[in-house]
Amino acid sequence: MEENKEKPDLVVWNKERGYYQNELSYGTNVGAPAINIENVSGWKQSNAELANKNFKTKFDELREEYERLVNEVRLNELVYSARYNFTPVMGQVYHLYSKSDDSFFLSMISPDSWNQKYMGSFKLDASHKWSKVESY
């Protein structure tokens, strides 16, 4: 065959060797074995389900962390907005009370020492965040 002559797609032509069908990884004629594509839909579906489970788990973890952070911010806003006439010491437990006018005040006096509307006990940590103390 001449070099400048167009060849059909199924003909592999090389100047030195000419036509070389044996080196092809696929058939070039009607009698060649059919090329079958593997069915990967099952693999895709099972791996997509696993990926979605991982995404959902991570989303749930992030949502829980977000809710913890929001609660922490609300508690800090509550304690920092309370009235107190002392400088809190880090690591010391303080008690939050509600007055009759719905304002809050922070005190060093424990709830069993007097009759005030007790809201909770809090401790100031080294990062200046208030954390709720379950037992004082």
| pLDDT tens readout for residues 70-104 | 999 999 999 999 999 999 999 999 999 999 898 99
- Residue 122 CB: number of other CB atoms within 10 A? 23
Percent of the chain with pLDDT over 90: 56
Give the pLDDT of residue 1.
Answer: 45
The band of 30, judged by pLDDT with boundaries at 50, 70 and 90, is confident
Residue matched to tokens 């389900």 = 49
- Decide: 107 and 78 in contact? Cβ < 8 Å: no
pLDDT per residue as tens digits for the range 114-129: 888 999 999 999 999 9
Residue 82, both tokens: 């309370």
